[in-house]
Structure 1
């Protein structure tokens, strides 16, 4: 599977603005800017999108592991907090609230740890990065 997203930026860092579009068009010309990233502006920002991706991916991975073991899942809610410090994402913390039938806390925690280590977004946060760049 390959997925993509496009970012277009116009202007300088602080006065400029950008638009994000995902392949699915769930995000379509979605606004982002210096203000939405570092202040209180309208729009999204890369760290917020990483938080959403990590929460979503982790939750699906946890669901898969629990389902494989035959547990009945009522709900799993995951919140992800990303910390950007000095230009680097230094932490991604997941807070999970789940309703799972007939599971002990010990078994649940084992699956949480397994999902934390194995969801694709957890893995990408320490991935090799490559680029292809062309001046137009």
Structure 2
């Protein structure tokens, strides 16, 4: 199978504090979506890089968990994941993404809590986004069987 490539583009105008940008993706789901200093550091409407990383991680992990459960003979009813991406100021200046916390709830018939936890960890170890971030970012997993 050939590598799968996905493309997004960001355009920034102006300086950091008063400037603004727009993000677009080839699929069209992001189309000149605004981002700025205020959307990143002041919670103004719009998106920011950390929110997009969290969304990608939540989506990827949910899929990886459902895949891993299915491979082990369990058919999930649902897997819901929230990813919390932490951006922290650094003593040397600037900011760093330091941690992503995955909070997952799964409805999975005929599985016990211990097996659910084991499969959740296996899925995180195989999640492509987790693996892309691993090494530079702490990844924390909280999985709950409902």
> Is the shorter-chain TM-score for this pair beyond 0.5, marking a shared fold?
yes
Q: State the distance in 2 between where 1:25 and 1:15 align.
A: 27
Distance 1:60 1:88, change over 3 A: same
Supply the RMSD in Å over aligned alpha carbons: 1.3
Partner of 2:125: 117
Asked if 1:105 corresponds to 2:105, the answer is no
Stretches of 4+ moved more than 6 A in 1?
none
TM-score normalised by L of structure 1? 0.90
Asked if 1:6 corresponds to 2:14, the answer is no
Deviates most, 25-34 or 64-73: 64-73
State the shift of 1:117 in Å: 1.6
State the shift of 1:20 in Å: 0.3
Partner of 2:18: 15
Give unpaired runs (5+ residues) of structure 1: 129-136
Asked if 1:96 corresponds to 2:101, the answer is no
Give unpaired runs (5+ residues) of structure 2: 90-94, 137-146
Q: State the distance in 1 between where 2:96 and 2:74 align.
A: 38
- Mapping of residues 9-88 of structure 1, within 5 Å: 9-86=12-89, 87-88=95-96
For residue 76 of structure 1, give the secondary structure of its aligned residue in structure 2. strand
Q: What per-residue deviation string (whole Å, max 9, x for no partner) do you get for residues 5-62 of structure 1? A: 0000001101000000012110010000000000021200000000000000000000
Query: How many residue pairs were aligned?
Result: 128
Distance 1:71 1:126, change over 3 A: closer
